[in-house]
């Protein structure tokens, strides 16, 4: 294959291109920690922001596969008296597909980077998010349309915890990370990051520690590496995490054009045949795209806010042209 280098202009993080057990190319740029002058490496863990939603959806589908939940389970069955403004007809599937119509604590149709309404350090478990989720009126009737909803994925985490009787981070670890062999992935505290984890930096040079929940939940906060993300896609497609019929549920289009021509499945963006997880927040940018036809994964993880979605698309197209063929 001809030499290929992706666009690295202004990038700070890791870009990886993998297929099967082969590393086609990997580039680490910039610093993971500016205070101690620690460089990013291919093994560096990065925050995934909303990329976490893919793991949330797969975890919920795993519970569906075990009969612990159903797609048509009403959220109210598990919420009981909590979050009373969520309509009684909102189901698990409405939440998975961003068609619930519930009010959102972080409504990206209004402000994608709005500050938290409670101190970040209070958000140290999924139940701790409940006060922040409360008090938002319904935007539209369940099933009416697509509207990306961060709060809806935290509600899914609440539901999953209560249905399974296990903290959400442990559920994801048991049902996604462990079967996929994702040994470097998890939900670390932002004020106690494990060694080898990148610190997120805002445009003004400060860290993002006061901007994001101290422990993530269903809508964000997972950390991973480029290698683990490739393992995730391989395990998902092979039926290691979910049975084939639920894999199809995860990646079937539920909304044909959710945003900028992208389709949406259940926790997975669909971009001209690529399966995509994506997230961005203060000091975090993450995109991992997988081409089922070729088995190629292109991941770009950054600890700054930087153009990444188009960068991974361009890299995937360039590699497809060079590698070609099905897996």
Q: What is the pLDDT of residue 327?
A: 65
Q: Per-residue pLDDT tens for 54-67? A: 999 999 999 999 99
Q: Mapping DSSP to helix (H, G, I), strand (E, B) and coil, where does residue 109 land?
A: coil
Taking residues 19-29, what's their average pLDDT? 97
Dump the DSSP string for 190-244: TTSPPTTBPPPB-TTS-BSTTTS-SS-BTTB--EE-HHHHHHHHHHHHHTSSS-H
Q: So what's the pLDDT on residue 326?
A: 64
Nearest to 164 by CA among 73, 244, 78: 78
What angle do helix axes 52-65 and 226-238 make, rounded to 10 degrees?
30
275 in a structural domain: yes
Give residue 325's pLDDT band: very low, low, confident or very high (50, 70, 90).
Answer: low
Does pLDDT of 1 surpass 60?
A: no
Q: 179 or 323: whose pLDDT is higher?
A: 179
> Would you say residue 215 lies in a domain?
yes
> Is residue 8 one of the residues assigned to a domain?
no
Q: Which two tokens stand for residue 119?
A: 């101190």
d(CA 118, CA 29): 34
* Residue 313 φ/ψ, nearest 5 degrees: -65, -45
Q: With DSSP H G I counted as helix, E B as strand and the rest as coil, what are the percentages for the chain, rounded to 5?
A: 30, 20, 50
- What is the structure's pLDDT at 247? 98
Lowest mean pLDDT segment, chosen from 188-197, 213-222, 253-262, 283-292: 253-262
- Say how many C-beta atoms besides its own lie within 10 A of residue 5's C-beta: 10
Kindly provide the residue ranges of all beta strands, DSSP E only, lying in 78-166, ordered along the sequence: none
Split into its structural domains, the chain has a count of 1
Residue-by-residue DSSP string for 142-167:
TTS-----HHHHHHHHHHHHHHHTS-
Does residue 236 sit in helix, strand or coil?
helix
Residue 77 pLDDT > 80, yes or no?
yes
**Tens-digit pLDDT profile for residues 193-211:** 999 999 999 999 999 999 9
Tens digits of residue pLDDT in 118-168: 999 999 999 999 999 999 999 999 999 999 999 999 999 999 999 999 999
Mean pLDDT of 242-256: 97
Considering the domain boundaries, does residue 6 fall inside one? no
Nearest to 250 by CA among 143, 102, 93: 93
Distance between CA atoms of 172 and 179, rounded to whole angstroms?
Answer: 10
**Is the full-model pTM beyond 0.85?**
yes
For residue 216, which of 100, 120, 119 has the smallest C-alpha distance? 120
What average pLDDT does the segment 33-52 reach? 98
Rounded Cα gap, residues 174 and 241, in angstroms: 10
Query: Considering the domain boundaries, does residue 184 fall inside one?
Result: yes
Of the pLDDT bands very low, low, confident and very high (cuts 50, 70, 90), residue 260 is confident
pLDDT, averaged across the chain: 96
Residue 1 belongs to a domain: no
**Percentage of residues in the chain having pLDDT higher than 90:** 92
- The DSSP result for 159-191, as a single string, is HHHHHHTS-HHHHHIIIIIHHHT-TT-B---TT
Q: What is the CATH number of the domain that holds 78?
A: 3.40.710.10
Domain of 179 in residue numbering reads as 13-323
The pLDDT value given to residue 322: 87
Stretch 273-285: mean pLDDT: 97
Shortest CA distance to 95 belongs to which of 132, 38, 56, 50?
Answer: 56
Please tell me the predicted confidence (pLDDT) of residue 125.
98
pLDDT of 51 strictly over 90: yes
Question: Tell me: the pLDDT tens digits for 207-222?
Answer: 999 999 999 999 999 9
Residue 7 belongs to a domain: no
- On whether residue 4 sits in a domain, the answer given is no
What tokens does 136 get? 């938002």
């Amino acid at each position: 294959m001809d030499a290929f280098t992706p666009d690295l202009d202004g990038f700070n993080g890791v870009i990886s291109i993998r297929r099967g057990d082969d590393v086609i190319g990997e580039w680490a740029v910039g610093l993971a920690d500016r205070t101690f002058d620690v460089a990013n490496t291919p093994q560096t863990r990065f925050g995934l922001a909303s990329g976490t939603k893919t793991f949330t959806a797969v975890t919920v589908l795993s519970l569906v596969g075990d009969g612990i939940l159903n797609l048509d389970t009403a959220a109210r069955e598990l919420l009981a008296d909590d979050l009373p403004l969520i309509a009684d007809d909102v189901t698990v599937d409405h939440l998975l597909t961003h068609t619930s119509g519930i009010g959102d604590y972080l409504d990206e149709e209004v402000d994608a980077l709005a500050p938290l309404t409670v101190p970040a350090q209070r958000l140290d478990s999924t139940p701790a998010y409940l006060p922040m989720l409360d008090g938002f009126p319904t935007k539209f009737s369940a099933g009416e349309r697509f509207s990306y909803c961060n709060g809806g994925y935290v509600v899914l985490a609440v539901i999953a915890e209560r249905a399974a009787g296990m903290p959400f981070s442990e559920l994801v670890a048991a049902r996604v990370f462990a079967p996929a062999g994702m040994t470097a992935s998890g939900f670390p505290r932002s004020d106690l990051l494990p060694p080898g984890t990148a610190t997120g930096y805002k445009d003004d040079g400060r860290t993002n520690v006061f901007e994001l929940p101290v422990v993530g939940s269903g809508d964000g906060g997972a950390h991973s590496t480029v290698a683990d993300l490739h393992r995730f896609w391989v395990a998902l497609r092979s039926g290691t995490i979910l049975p084939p019929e639920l894999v199809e549920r995860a990646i079937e289009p539920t909304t044909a054009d959710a945003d900028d021509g992208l389709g949406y499945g259940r926790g997975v963006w669909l971009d001209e045949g690529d399966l995509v997880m994506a997230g961005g927040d203060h000091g975090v940018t993450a995109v991992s795209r997988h081409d089922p036809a070729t088995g190629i994964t292109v991941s770009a993880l950054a600890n700054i806010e930087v153009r990444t979605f188009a960068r991974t698309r361009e890299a995937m197209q360039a590699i497809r042209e060079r590698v070609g063929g099905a897996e």
